[in-house]
Amino acid sequence: MQITMIGAGYVGLATGTCLANMGHSVRCFDINAARIVRLEHFDIPIYEPGLEEAMRSAVEAGRLSFSTRLRESVAEADAVFIAVGTPSGADGSIDLSHVLAAAKQIGPHLRRGATVVIKSTVVVGTARRVREIIARERGAFDIRVASNPEFLREGSAMKDFMEPDRIVLGADDTRSRNILRAIYRPFERAGVPMVITTTGNAELIKYSANAFLALKIGFINDVADLCEKTGGDIADVTRGIGLDRRIGESFLLPGPGFGGSCFPKDTRAFAATGRQFGAPQKLVETLIARNDQRKLLLARRILKEGRLAPESTVAVLGLAFKANTDDVREAAALSIIPALQEAGLRVVAHDPKAVPNAKEHLQDVAWADCPYAACTDASAVVILTEWDEYRRLNLDRVARALSGDALFDFRNLFDPRSVGQHGLRYFSLGRAATSVRQKGGISPIDRWDRRVAAPGHA
Ligand code: NAD
Ligand code: UGA
């Protein structure tokens, strides 16, 4: 089938590449011409594991191409996917302007009988609006509009797309339903559950799924707080509840508050839709406030428990909103770092991939090339992203590099029982803090001795 992607961002690129590797002929169009030029040279503007290899194989097989020419991109397509951004408006409701502009642009160029498929995350009723816009542009209702929400995650986009739990196909007429089924036939044959429903239900499914996953995270973060106050251990608690199949073990990792380009904006849009239709989503409203507040409360915890002198330096490891992506949109680092700076602290930051994006959002941060360089002479170190590189940190080396002794691990990467042995006070989530004074720990003077004895110490 001939497919065109309107929007070559995370979703457009990943989806287009995977559909091409499934055997379809795919063309990606983006309004950002510079992005298309880069893509033509395999200069991929985002970091997504496996994407480049998959793109190369699709292009080499002649099934994936990129274009800046709208008319040419759209005119022959059987299906045109809209995969443009749907950010938050000022009041938290969805900003559909990119989707509606894309519909207006493609309207005149679509071939008769083509199906437009909305891949972007959009509020209920959008498919109908898009159909009306296209009809207005063409002077005829000859184009069908379907909804096919996407559930991939950044950092595992290729795997998520190719191994879905289910595929949601929203269509209000037989022709577009058949087109969608034909596109996803290999998955249907492989036994992937297909939810074939209306466009409105498909739109509601997408937001309900994201809101529910975000609620799971918000809930476990609150439980982690309770564990800290009561001497509990969040790992045992999550295992104990997650093994109940009705609850499930995934999305129960405590963290510094969810971020990214999806959960924050989608929960806001879901709540705004509830208000608009007189069906308030109170749980989600509370979740949004709690999640924003959590990032600031964690900054406060660093200031309070870090025993930091005024103007001391804090090393922040991890700027991306999660591991395996360079995306910093609504990342915890973007709230926590400015809060620390406001309190008068200096921040040195490291991230394996996200520094260029973070530089667009943060001021007065010193950037380090490696985590140990970030820790050098810092009073405390704070881990905000669960990169494997940080899991493998040599904590002796970290302790020697620091001038202070506090490690705040807001991704629970280490075993609290072992961190004290490295001479660090350890603060993680949902577990008791451990101190250097615990049995097996080394005294501050021992740690100082190790530091001056270390190779390279001036
Ligand atoms: P993105 O910002 O990475 O990419 C959007 C692209 O669309 C940009 O390259 C932009 O230049 C282009 N664009 C904007 N207007 C255009 C127009 N009129 N014509 C052509 N191109 C245009 O966004 P994204 O992360 O890919 O998200 C896209 C949609 O998919 C959003 O609704 C998002 O909520 C949803 N979604 C995202 C993810 C994810 O993991 N990022 C997962 C599932 C769903
Ligand atoms: C999320 C959903 O997981 C995807 O299914 C969905 O397609 C996508 O949003 C979207 O609609 O755009 P994504 O934002 O890429 O995907 O990343 P997630 O892995 O869901 O993580 C989101 C945030 O929650 C991150 O900040 C992450 O660190 C946090 N998180 C996740 C936790 O704190 N704990 C967890 O157990 C899981």
| Shared domain check, 203 and 123 | no
Whether 116 and 143 have beta carbons less than 8 Å apart is answered as yes
Catalytic residue, from 18, 28, 262, 375: name it: 262
Does the pLDDT value for residue 448 go beyond 50? no
The protein residue whose alpha carbon is closest to atom 31 in ligand 2 is 251
At 442, the amino acid letter reads I
> What residue numbers bound the domain in which 291 lies?
198-458
Task: Give DSSP secondary structure letters for 20-67.
Answer: HHTT-EEEEE-S-HHHHHHHHTT--SS--TTHHHHHHHHHHTT-EEEE
Look up residue 148 and give its two tokens: 């096919």
User: 305 C-alpha to center of ligand 2: Å?
Assistant: 29
Interval 348-360: pLDDT, tens: 999 999 999 999 9
pTM surpassing 0.95?
no
User: 431 C-alpha to center of ligand 2: Å?
Assistant: 23
10 Å CB burial of residue 82 (0-12, 13-18, 19+) is: buried
Strands lying side by side in the sheet with 115-118: 64-67, 25-29, 2-6, 79-82, 115-118, 144-147, 167-170, 194-197
Alpha carbon distance 412, 368 (integer Å) = 22
| Shared domain check, 367 and 321 | yes
At residue 437, the 3 state secondary structure works out as: coil
Smallest CA-to-CA distance from 200 within 150, 147, 151, 135 is with 147
| Cα–Cα distance list, 207 to 97, 123, 312, 443 (Å) | 18, 8, 43, 52
Average pLDDT over residues 214-225: 98
Residue ranges around ligand 1 (CB below 6 Å): 6-12, 29-32, 35, 83-86, 98, 101-102, 105, 120-121, 150, 152-154, 261-262
| Shared domain check, 298 and 159 | no
| Shared domain check, 141 and 253 | no
Which of 153, 170, 194 is where one domain is finished? 194
- 3-state SS string for 272-298: HHHHHCCCCCHHHHHHHHHHHHHHHHH
At residue 5, the 3 state secondary structure works out as: strand
Q: Which pLDDT does position 433 carry in this prediction?
A: 76
Ligand 2 pocket check: which of 18, 208, 213, 325 to mutate, most ligand atoms within 8 Å of Cβ?
213
Look up residue 235 and give its two tokens: 């790992």
Which of 144, 179, 194 is where one domain is finished? 194
Taking residue 242's Cβ as centre, other Cβ atoms within 10 Å add up to 16
| CATH number of the domain where residue 268 is located | 3.40.50.720
| Partner residues linked to 316 by β-bridges | 349, 382
Ligand 2 pocket check: which of 208, 262, 267, 429 to mutate, most ligand atoms within 8 Å of Cβ?
262
Helix (H) or strand (E) holding 383, with range, is: strand 380-383
Interval 90-124: pLDDT, tens: 899 999 999 999 999 999 999 999 999 999 999 99
Does the pLDDT value for residue 157 go beyond 70? yes
Alpha carbon distance 138, 204 (integer Å) = 28
Does the pLDDT value for residue 441 go beyond 80? no
Q: Which pLDDT does position 434 carry in this prediction?
A: 76
| Shared domain check, 185 and 233 | no
User: 45 C-alpha to center of ligand 1: Å?
Assistant: 13
Alpha carbon distance 102, 129 (integer Å) = 12
| Shared domain check, 386 and 266 | yes
Residue the block writes with tokens 């490690």:
407
| Shared domain check, 409 and 298 | yes
Q: Which pLDDT does position 381 carry in this prediction?
A: 98
What percent of the chain has pLDDT above 70? 95
Does the pLDDT value for residue 57 go beyond 80? yes
Q: Could you give the number of structural domains in the chain? A: 2
Does the pLDDT value for residue 436 go beyond 90? no
Whether 125 and 16 have beta carbons less than 8 Å apart is answered as no
Does the pLDDT value for residue 9 go beyond 50? yes
Q: Which pLDDT does position 426 carry in this prediction?
A: 96
pLDDT grade, residue 173 (50/70/90)?
A: very high
Ligand 1 pocket check: which of 84, 321, 357 to mutate, most ligand atoms within 8 Å of Cβ?
84
| Cα–Cα distance list, 140 to 110, 112, 125, 133, 146 (Å) | 12, 10, 20, 10, 17
Interval 227-284: pLDDT, tens: 999 999 999 999 999 999 999 999 999 999 999 999 999 999 999 999 999 999 999 9
| Partner residues linked to 346 by β-bridges | 313
Active site residue 262: yes
Report the mean per-residue pLDDT for the chain.
94
At residue 321, the 3 state secondary structure works out as: coil
Alpha carbon distance 231, 418 (integer Å) = 18
Q: Which residues contact 281 (CB under 8 A, 6 or more apart)?
A: 211, 270, 271, 273, 274, 275
Look up residue 232 and give its two tokens: 């509990």
Whether 314 and 306 have beta carbons less than 8 Å apart is answered as yes
User: 67 C-alpha to center of ligand 2: Å?
Assistant: 30
Does the pLDDT value for residue 197 go beyond 60? yes
Interval 284-339: pLDDT, tens: 999 999 999 999 999 999 999 998 988 899 999 999 999 999 999 999 999 999 99
Smallest CA-to-CA distance from 47 within 324, 436, 258 is with 324
| Shared domain check, 252 and 139 | no
User: 231 C-alpha to center of ligand 2: Å?
Assistant: 28
Q: Which pLDDT does position 444 carry in this prediction?
A: 40
pLDDT grade, residue 442 (50/70/90)?
A: very low
Strands lying side by side in the sheet with 346-350: 365-367, 346-350, 313-317, 380-383, 406-409, 425-427
| Shared domain check, 227 and 174 | no
Number of C-alpha atoms within 13 angstroms, CB side, residue 122? 27
Does the pLDDT value for residue 144 go beyond 80? yes
Helix (H) or strand (E) holding 430, with range, is: none
For residue 332, which atom of ligand 2 is closest to its CA?
26
| Shared domain check, 140 and 76 | yes
| Shared domain check, 271 and 146 | no
| Shared domain check, 396 and 275 | yes
Give helix then strand counts, H and E, for the chain.
20, 14
Helix (H) or strand (E) holding 170, with range, is: strand 167-170
Which of 144, 159, 194 is where one domain is finished? 194
